[in-house]
Amino acid sequence: MEGDKDEDERMVTEKLKERRVQYILQSSHQEEGVELRNLLTTPHFQHTHSFSSMCLCVLCPSQALMQAHDSVAEQELEPDPEERMIQYLGETVKLVRLEKAGDMPLGATVRNEMDSVVVSRVVKGGTAERSGLLAEGDEILEINGVPVRGKNVNEVHDLLMDMHGTLTFLLIPSSQNKTPSHRQTVKGDILHIISQDDPSWWQAYRDGDEDNQPLAGLVPGKSFQQQREAMKKTIVDRNPDSPDYYADEILTYEEMALYHQPANRKRPIALIGPPNSGQNELRQRLLSIEPDRFAGAVPHTTRNPRIHEKNGREYHFVNQLAFEADVAAGKFIESGEYERNLYGTSSDSVRQVINSGRICLLCLHTKSLRVLRSSNLKPYVIFIAPPSQERLRILLAKDGKNPKPEELKELIEKAREMEQAYGHLFDAAIVNGEPDTAFHELLRLIDKLDTEPQWVPSSWLC
Q: What's 201's domain CATH number?
A: 2.30.30.40
Domain co-membership, 426 together with 328: yes
- Residue 262 within any structural domain of the chain: yes
Query: What's the distance, Cα to Cα, between the start and end of the chain in Å?
Result: 49
Domain region containing 93 = 85-172
Q: What is the DSSP letter of 84?
A: E
Q: 106 in helix, strand or coil?
A: coil
pTM: predicted TM-score of the whole model, two decimal places: 0.61
- Residue 54 within any structural domain of the chain: no
Residue 457: closest CA among 60, 55, 189, 48:
55
Q: 389 in helix, strand or coil?
A: helix
Domain co-membership, 123 together with 261: no
What is the Cα gyration radius of the chain? 29
Q: What's 152's domain CATH number?
A: 2.30.42.10
Domain co-membership, 199 together with 293: no
- Residue 55 within any structural domain of the chain: no
Domain co-membership, 263 together with 403: yes
Residue 262: closest CA among 150, 378, 375, 152:
378
- Residue 162 within any structural domain of the chain: yes
Cα–Cα distance for residue pair 4/24, rounded to 1 Å: 30
- Residue 95 within any structural domain of the chain: yes
Cα–Cα distance for residue pair 232/31, rounded to 1 Å: 10
CB 41 within 8 A of CB 26: no
Residue-level pLDDT at 336? 94
Residue-level pLDDT at 180? 42
Residue-level pLDDT at 93? 77
Residue-level pLDDT at 342? 97
Which of 172, 206, 224 delimits the end of a domain? 172
Backbone angles phi, psi at 140, to 5 degrees: -90, 120
Buried b (16+ CB within 10 A) or exposed e, 174-202: eeeeeeebbeebeebbbbbbbbbebbbbb
Counting other chains too, the contacts that 425-428 makes at CB distance below 8 Å and 24 or more residues apart are 425/366, 425/369, 425/370, 425/373, 425/381, 426/188, 426/272, 426/381, 426/382, 426/383, 427/380, 427/381, 427/382, 427/454, 428/380, 428/381, 428/382, 428/383
Residue-level pLDDT at 90? 54
Domain co-membership, 285 together with 431: yes
Cα–Cα distance for residue pair 265/333, rounded to 1 Å: 19
Q: What's 418's domain CATH number?
A: 3.40.50.300
Work out the number of other CB atoms within 10 angstroms of the CB of residue 243.
Answer: 17
> What is the full per-residue pLDDT of the chain (462 aa) written as tens digits?
555 545 545 554 555 555 555 555 555 555 555 555 555 554 443 333 333 356 666 665 543 333 333 333 333 333 343 556 555 555 667 788 888 776 667 778 888 888 888 988 776 667 777 778 888 888 888 888 889 988 888 888 888 888 888 888 888 887 644 444 445 566 678 888 888 877 777 788 778 776 666 566 777 777 766 665 665 555 445 444 444 434 456 667 788 899 999 999 999 999 999 998 999 999 999 999 999 999 999 999 999 999 999 999 999 999 999 999 999 999 999 999 999 999 999 999 999 999 999 999 999 999 999 899 988 999 999 999 998 888 889 989 888 888 898 999 999 899 989 988 898 899 999 999 899 999 999 999 999 999 999 999 999 998
Residue-level pLDDT at 210? 64
10 Å CB burial of residue 262 (0-12, 13-18, 19+) is exposed
CB 195 within 8 A of CB 203: yes
- Residue 39 within any structural domain of the chain: no
Domain co-membership, 342 together with 411: yes
- Residue 350 within any structural domain of the chain: yes
Cα dihedral angle (257, 365, 386, 233), rounded to 10 degrees? -70
Domain co-membership, 299 together with 446: yes
Count of structural domains within the chain: 3
Backbone angles phi, psi at 63, to 5 degrees: -115, -80
Residue 77 neighbours by CB under 8 Å, 6+ apart: 214, 215
Domain co-membership, 344 together with 431: yes
Sequence letter at residue 167: L
